[in-house]
Amino acid sequence: MNAKWERHNNSAFQIIDVLARGSPGVADCGGIFSNHFANFLGNFSQNLRINNSFIAELWGVILVIEIAHKKSWLNLWLECNSSLVVQSSKNPNLV
């Protein structure tokens, strides 16, 4: 998993990288949480038992939002490698 950190501004954004691997093969997803000072806040990984990297990245985004909601992290910066996942967040009819 490759992760990069970039300071976006002085607000309390959570920087999150969501990556998936698989397809063909069983797909996994994972993410890294840090604040705008690059302090590590947590991470997650999940074996999804599916073989589609698009669905794995989509589930990764869903898991990130669920985790952030539980921790009351309201300002999110989400990075995702899949342009289709990004487009589906703008147009739910794609999913």
Neighbours of 46 (CB within 10 A): 15
β-pairing verdict for 76-80 and 40-47: unpaired
Question: Which of 87, 32, 35, 28 lies closest to 64 in space, CA to CA?
Answer: 32
What pLDDT does residue 3 have?
A: 45
Question: Which of 68, 48, 70 lies closest to 59 in space, CA to CA?
Answer: 48
Q: Is the pLDDT of residue 38 over 60?
A: yes
More confident residue, 39 or 8: 39
Q: Is the pLDDT of residue 1 over 50?
A: no
